[in-house]
Amino acid sequence: MKLRIGYGFDVHRLADGHSLFIGGVKVPSEFGAVGHSDADVLLHAVCDALLGALSLRDIGYHFSDTDPAFKGIDSKILLERVFSMIKEKGYAVNNIDTTVVLEKPKLSSYIPEMQKVISTLLEVSEDCVSVKATTHETVDSFGEKRAIKAYACCLLIKK
């Protein structure tokens, strides 16, 4: 059995007048993430983890933030495309482990829905997708509610 490990990270600025999408779920909030796409920091980190596991570069390489085709795109579409690349290489997802860093709003009640979205997109059971949320304890731009970040790691298995 051939195993590959990948790691991903993403960060977005937060601002009024934007929606907050995390893990494919629209989270009610007075502010949202700013980005070329829908700025879903969690799905972007998962994309980078998957791509990194197979040395396929990063999300920006495949979906440039200067390309108008990706302006406002739903990040679930980006994850679907990345997962297609993974399957083309003969791999499947064994599991994903993620962490979102956001001071507010609290994400605990949205995590099961995020797990469902991600597991569906990656064709694994929900218990193969870990989504954790934490704060930055009011430290720096993340703790001051000016930014959001996410970390992801994955284990891929050769089919």
Predicted pLDDT at 127: 98
Specify the pLDDT at position 17.
94
> In which band, very low, low, confident or very high, does the pLDDT at 26 lie, cut at 50, 70 and 90?
very high
- Structural domains in the chain, CATH included, are 3-158 (3.30.1330.50)
End-to-end CA distance of the chain: 8
Q: Which is nearest to 50 in space by CA: 19, 10, 24, 85?
A: 85
Rounded alpha-carbon distances, angstroms, from residue 94 to 44, 64, 80, 129, 153: 18, 28, 16, 9, 11
What's the pTM? 0.96
- Which residues fall in the annotated binding site for a divalent metal cation? 10, 12, 44
Query: What local confidence, expressed as pLDDT, does residue 1 receive?
Result: 74
Exposure of 117 in the CB half-sphere (CA atoms within 13 A): 21
Whether 6 shows a pLDDT value over 90: the answer reads yes
Known binding-site residue numbers:
10-12, 36-37, 44, 58-60, 63-67, 134-137
The model's pLDDT over 39-97, given as tens digits with 9 standing for 90+, comes to 999 999 999 999 999 999 999 999 998 999 999 899 999 999 999 999 999 999 999 99
Express each pLDDT in 112-151 by its tens digit: 999 999 999 999 999 999 999 999 887 777 877 789 999 9
